[in-house]
Homo-oligomer: A and B are copies of this chain.
Amino acid sequence: MKQSFLFTKTRREAPADEQSKNAKLLIRAGYIHKEMAGVYSYLPLGLRVLNNIIEIIRKEMNTIGGEEVLLTTLQDPEIWKKSGRWDDKDIDIWFKTKLKNGGELGLGNTHEEEITALMTEQIASYKDLPQYIYQFQNKFRNESRAKSGIMRTREFIMKDLYSFSADAASHNEFYERASLAYEKIFAQVGIGTKTYRTIASGGSFSKYSHEFQTICETGEDIIYIDDKKRIAVNKEVYDDPEVYATTGIDKKVLRKERAVEVGNIFTLGTRYSDALGLIYKDMEGKNIPVFMGSYGIGPGRIMGTLVEVLSDEKGIVWPEAVAPFKVHLLALAGVDEDIRTYAQKLYEDMIKKGIEVLYDNRDVRAGEKFADSDLLGIPWRVIVGKDTLTSGNIEVVSRADGTTEKKTRAEVLAL
């Protein structure tokens, strides 16, 4: 894409009321736009990053047998009353609205109730199990504090998967498979080494759940890491002796870190299938409640975490797998038509080679191009200048570590 085509501009300053590093940088770079506290729009470059993250997640969910659906935002109070979660005292972050004809509706803050009710029409027998259903759908949460940029928002896309198993044993088998898929996702988006499966508090059916926590100075959580076992304990269960008794973790070796939750997996058991009547007939014809789990990842939260964790004083640093483009091609042409022609031809050849490239063809100073390029954080900066025409060399700079190499045209086209 030519940069002149892009309607977004970079900005020197973030909005004065924006406190978080991720939102400041993403707004300045033109990736997102702040509508209100905790409510952000995604602009073209930001949507590309978000969609890249979504595609990585989708692929892994399909690999573990997930089937994609799209549930609704508007929620029928009746199903939430059955599970005892309609009252604002039970869920304190509800957004609710009213039908014109009368009657309240909820805006989905999660989708256990809706998917469980839906599955009562699809699951009748043990032959219909297991099932793994997922979606990418907006969640709405009436947060009283929304100061962490796109890490904690009032409206955000979440990937939520729900598993439906015949019993705890087959549930546990899938739970571990989902956990491995999550680890693969975090590795692919570039936070694998900084992310730990973390024991956290559970619910009515399992004493513990698991979070995936990424070490991050600005994270809202505190975790305690066992480096050898590559596992962590969330502060909320750190003082529970059972954690250590059941897992063999040695409390003494743990080191404390600030972290951000980038995913969670949860054994729901029959909490929702009991409430909403999701039962199946086993081989003897006996009615058994379906054993459920839920598995969440917020692509926007991952995007924010990447900015918090990887950016430097000059701007954003995207891992290649999620970057809006792989290459940022800068023509330092000035009034030199030959340089412009060379860069334009290189741009066209990159596209032919299938290289995702943003081409800064704008008529602005070199310094401005460099500063914008640092801010945007595209992994490889390819610079065509005077030297290119005389020596044939093209400068290639890595955004992550700043290393610079002279490459030939053929080498650049093999990036």
Contacts and interface: CB of A to CB of B under 8 A. Distances in A.
A123 to B, nearest CB: 8
Nearest to A118: B33
A80 B132 CA distance: 41
Interface in A1-27: 5-9, 11
A43 interface: yes
A100 B144 contact: yes
A140 B8 CA distance: 27
A91 B227 CA distance: 58
B69 A42 contact: yes
A50 B72 contact: no
A33 B142 contact: no
A384 B107 CA distance: 47
Contacts of A11: 121
A41 B67 contact: no
A118 B140 CA distance: 22
Interface string A115-126: 000110111000
A152 interface: no
A97 interface: yes
A208 interface: no
Contacts of A42: 69-70
A70 B95 contact: no
Given A36-B74, A47-B70, A142-B99, A122 B41 contact: no
B72 A35 contact: yes
A121 B43 CA distance: 12
Interface string A50-78: 10000000000000010111111111100
Assign chain A's interface to a size class.
Answer: 35 or more
Contacts of A75: 35
Contacts of A69: 41-44, 47
Nearest to A128: B7
Nearest to A78: B36
A313 to B, nearest CB: 24
B71 A114 contact: no
A97 B154 CA distance: 12
A131 interface: yes
Given A7-B133, A44-B68, A100-B93, A35 B122 contact: no
A71 B154 CA distance: 14
A138 interface: yes
A11 B122 CA distance: 10
Interface of A: 5-9, 11, 33, 35-36, 39-44, 47, 50, 65, 67-76, 92-93, 95-101, 105, 107, 114, 118-119, 121-123, 128, 131, 133, 138, 140, 142-144, 154-155
5 contacts: A44-B67, A93-B100, A95-B98, A95-B105, A138-B138
Give 7 nearest A-B pairs by CB, closest first: A42-B70, A100-B142, A95-B97, A7-B131, A41-B71, A97-B97, A44-B67
